[in-house]
Structure 1
């Protein structure tokens, strides 16, 4: 078995620059910058509505026509936002695969799961007949589905939630992708099955050398699986750091609030900390820092000055979009004092 180590100095396989998305002129992504190296595991965290899933749906051309998209998404240096529909269909599932959070709705209920995996093999690798069936069996074995020969003939409703999620991962791996996007892959699964799915993703990443993007609300999952983590809020990245550094020394008040809300298993029992309010609707964003209305550390300047993540990508190990923690205004002519 080949072990593929992540090389942080390797050229990025995915480069997303100033990605912006608006629905009916209402902005929902407000300038996402993200790079992913081959073999790297990157986590994306934040409350619902922060833009985690929309980032990748936009990158892969899966948003409805009413979405207005600008910026740049490059795969191995090749621009995807202006790519033809035919080329995007080759990229989706072939170069970049996505595992959605609800396998019950992602799988077709009237087709056998084996046929759905075989269809992915036909589309992305040209396999047919006995060769496709043999490869489907191998994929089922790889993702840990027991009695794989019999399970190929099962319908989604005949399998458990964890088994259906493994089928989804098998379908994603059918195209031998360079990047796997796992969007809340452990939602609605019990903790034992969650651990098995996460172990599976890590093992596949080590065996194949693919990059992994893990979208999750669970900070513990991100800390266990990922090399680097991005925290999103209101359509922007507000903090980016190696996962261990993010957990030990969070810089942005929003990240600190998320970590403070985690229950502790040691020490005395006490009420969990909460972040007041909710993520604002994209049409109701106030001027200045989007998190300022909920931030207990806010100053007057936070409500009047837009802030951006410092430029530097992975050359800056820890970046935070906070005026009070070393970031810079979006307009360089605005003073901090």
Structure 2
């Protein structure tokens, strides 16, 4: 079997808070295969973004990171700053939630894309500008020849996100990590950006990690989904299996809260409570205080993420179909 493109093994992250260390990630393990699309979902504060900021060494220096990050089977934690610059953008590219804050407001968008092209592919200035224009065309920005000289404030949020995608493609990466790329956009533009990400993946063969708090968004364009809660992965499965037969009560709760646009009207079921403070996690399973299926053992021991089928893992002592746990909507 070929090795995965990226493998995270027992990744932990601690931050200093008030003189103490607070753990934000608790042993996250994930693999990304070449060309696949993985959705990483969970409520705000679950550790989705921290996972990939840690993997790409973009967290502040004061953060304490342990575990392994492998790229093509080779560890990258020990790489120097200059060596990591060759990984970020060239091998692994990232785009973030707010494109306007990610772009430099005093430089034209074409200049910023051309800079990425020169950095990662060694083009001269003229060739880099031509490639920047081609990339703007590729992400379907109308009148790219004119827009290449615009500043970010002259473009809409959706167009700026297309610019960010063009910049991410400048290094021809093997993996694109898209962190909530549509949250700041209206619904119509959201759909266009998601379609664009899927199109770019098909055309380039790159792998995609789509980070979102919305299961509905990842349903259409990912192959596999990992669900995070309180700094841990609690379920991982192929996307169809996860939606058809969620095994973890948290996943079941997230799906029960989704409206069924084409189905009958029904009352949506909210998950009670909120994600716990990382500095004051409850004993045992972190989801136990909110879980309608919790038993005595859930508050004394932390369930491990175990295989429940050949292609799926769940961290729950009572992992089973939603109907068996009486959590179905």
Displacement of 1:319 in angstroms is: 1.1
Displacement of 1:65 in angstroms is: 1.4
Q: Could you tell me which residue of structure 2 aligns to residue 96 of structure 1?
A: 92
Superposed counterparts of 1:116-265, under 5 Å: 116-265=112-261
Stretches of structure 2 lacking an aligned partner (at least 5 in a row): 321-329
TM-score, structure 1 as length reference = 0.91
Cα deviation, 1:123-181, whole Å, max 9, x if unaligned, reads: 11111222111100110011011100111100001001100000000000000000000
Q: Does 1:324 align with 2:309?
A: no
TM-score, structure 2 as length reference = 0.94
Contact 1:10 1:38 in 2 (8 A): no
Query: Which portions of structure 1, spanning 4 or more consecutive aligned residues, are displaced by more than 4 angstroms?
Result: none
Displacement of 1:196 in angstroms is: 1.2
SS at match of 1:42: strand
SS at match of 1:263: coil
Q: Does 1:86 align with 2:82?
A: yes
Q: Could you tell me which residue of structure 1 aligns to residue 58 of structure 2?
A: 62
Q: Could you tell me which residue of structure 2 aligns to residue 288 of structure 1?
A: 284
Q: Which moved more, 1:39-48 or 1:215-224?
A: 215-224
How far apart, CA to CA, are the structure 1 residues paired with 2:197 and 2:262?
A: 29
Stretches of structure 1 lacking an aligned partner (at least 5 in a row): 1-8, 327-337
Q: Could you tell me which residue of structure 2 aligns to residue 16 of structure 1?
A: 8
Displacement of 1:311 in angstroms is: 5.7
SS at match of 1:120: helix
How far apart, CA to CA, are the structure 2 residues paired with 1:85 and 1:311?
A: 37
How far apart, CA to CA, are the structure 2 residues paired with 1:243 and 1:170?
A: 27
Match of 1:276 among 272, 276, 280: 272
SS at match of 1:186: coil
How far apart, CA to CA, are the structure 1 residues paired with 2:217 and 2:132?
A: 28
How far apart, CA to CA, are the structure 2 residues paired with 1:72 and 1:129?
A: 38
How far apart, CA to CA, are the structure 2 residues paired with 1:264 and 1:311?
A: 29
How far apart, CA to CA, are the structure 2 residues paired with 1:62 and 1:268?
A: 45
Contact 2:37 2:210 in 1 (8 A): yes
Displacement of 1:11 in angstroms is: 2.9
Contact 1:254 1:291 in 2 (8 A): yes
How far apart, CA to CA, are the structure 2 residues paired with 1:141 and 1:203?
A: 14
Q: Which moved more, 1:315-324 or 1:126-135?
A: 315-324
Q: How many residues align?
A: 316
How far apart, CA to CA, are the structure 2 residues paired with 1:270 and 1:212?
A: 34
Q: Could you tell me which residue of structure 2 aligns to residue 329 of structure 1?
A: none
Displacement of 1:268 in angstroms is: 4.0
Over the aligned positions, Cα root-mean-square deviation in angstroms equals 1.3
Contact 2:6 2:72 in 1 (8 A): yes
SS at match of 2:137: helix
Contact 2:3 2:73 in 1 (8 A): no
SS at match of 2:306: coil
SS at match of 1:308: coil
Contact 2:307 2:314 in 1 (8 A): no
How far apart, CA to CA, are the structure 2 residues paired with 1:325 and 1:46?
A: 18
SS at match of 2:292: coil
